[in-house]
């Protein structure tokens, strides 16, 4: 399934996603907490617990957004780099880094997932939370993440998925496609963004299909862990 672009302007998906996140960035953290009842942060903590299972000195957070996952990682990892295409999201992330006094441990850069500005094998691990489904070219982004990861290093991807068990599947679909877009439009004043986001989840190759994409992109030993009844998955693999 092809993911629709947010605004249908004829621009590339990358350009439209960048514009969308710039527009909704002031309300992004608030809406995340409201929509997930704070569960999104619990999911991120699971990512960090998995990350800490092996020694990590340098980690890259791709599609870092407002840097929630990068800031969690910085409690345990000496050097964290976050990249995102949206300067609006990065501006909010940099302010959070400054408020926590972590300028020496967390660096946030504007960069495209398909063209990461780092040498081969720079990082011990790479990670992403709720961002890979917005890549213009999923395989290219995952391949770039593999390139900048050292041999034996890991990838950790937290992403929404589609639960299949009743009744959670029906409730989830109603909430995700009816309630969330209505609230999102009201709060963010963006009519398209919170319609695009559920559509992007529907189009994303979750579960086994995503593990197959990881394998084609240079990763192996892939594992998919469902979270909260399959509303999200934590994917891990090794370079």
Backbone angles phi, psi at 158, to 5 degrees: -105, 125
3-state secondary structure 22-64: HHHHHHHHHHHHHHHCCHHHHHHHHHHHHHCCCCCCEEEEECC
Q: What is the pLDDT of residues 131-172, one digit of tens each?
A: 999 999 999 999 999 999 999 999 999 999 988 888 888 888
Query: Which of 46-55, 160-169, 193-202 is most confident?
Result: 46-55
Q: Domain map of the chain by residue range?
A: 13-238
> What is the rounded CA–CA span in Å between residue 73 and residue 52?
9
pLDDT band at 3 (very low <50, low <70, confident <90, very high): low
pLDDT confidence of residue 64: 98
Residues 6+ apart with CB under 8 A from 37: none
Region 172-179 average pLDDT? 85
Cα(146)–Cα(84) distance, integer angstroms = 17
**Banded pLDDT at 209 (limits 50, 70, 90):** very high
Three-state DSSP at 143 gives helix
Report the percent of the chain where pLDDT is more than 70: 99
pLDDT digits (tens, 9 = 90+) for 91-135: 999 999 999 999 999 999 999 999 999 999 999 999 999 999 999
Distance of alpha carbon 239 from alpha carbon 146, whole angstroms: 6
pTM of the model as a whole: 0.93
Task: Classify domain 13-238 at the CATH topology level.
Answer: Rossmann fold (3.40.50)
Output the pLDDT for position 1: 53
183 DSSP assignment: H
**7-15 long-range Cβ contacts below 8 angstroms, 24+ apart:** 7/192, 8/192, 12/136, 13/134, 13/136, 14/85, 14/112, 14/136
């Amino acid at each position: 399934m092809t993911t629709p672009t947010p605004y249908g302007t004829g621009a590339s998906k990358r350009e439209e996603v960048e514009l969308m996140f710039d527009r909704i960035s002031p309300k992004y953290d608030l809406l995340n907490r409201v929509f997930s009842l704070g569960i999104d942060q619990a999911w991120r903590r699971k990512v960090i617990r998995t990350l800490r299972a092996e020694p990590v000195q340098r980690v890259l957070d791709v599609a870092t957004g407002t840097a929630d996952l990068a800031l969690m990682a910085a409690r345990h990892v000496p050097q964290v780099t976050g990249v995102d295409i949206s300067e609006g999201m990065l501006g909010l992330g940099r302010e959070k880094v400054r408020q926590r006094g972590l300028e020496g441990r967390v660096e946030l850069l504007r960069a495209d997932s398909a063209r990461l500005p780092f040498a081969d094998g720079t990082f011990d691990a790479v990670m992403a939370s709720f961002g890979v489904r917005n890549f213009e070219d999923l395989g290219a982004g995952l391949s770039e993440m593999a390139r900048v990861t050292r041999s034996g290093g890991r990838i950790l991807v937290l992403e929404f998925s589609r639960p299949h068990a009743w009744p959670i599947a029906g409730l989830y679909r109603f909430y995700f496609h009816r309630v969330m877009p209505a609230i999102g439009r009201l709060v963010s004043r963006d009519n398209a963004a919170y319609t695009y986001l559920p559509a992007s989840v529907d189009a994303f190759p979750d579960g086994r299909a995503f593990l197959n994409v990881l394998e084609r992109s240079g990763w192996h030993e892939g594992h998919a862990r469902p979270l909260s009844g399959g509303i999200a998955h934590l994917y891990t693999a090794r370079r």
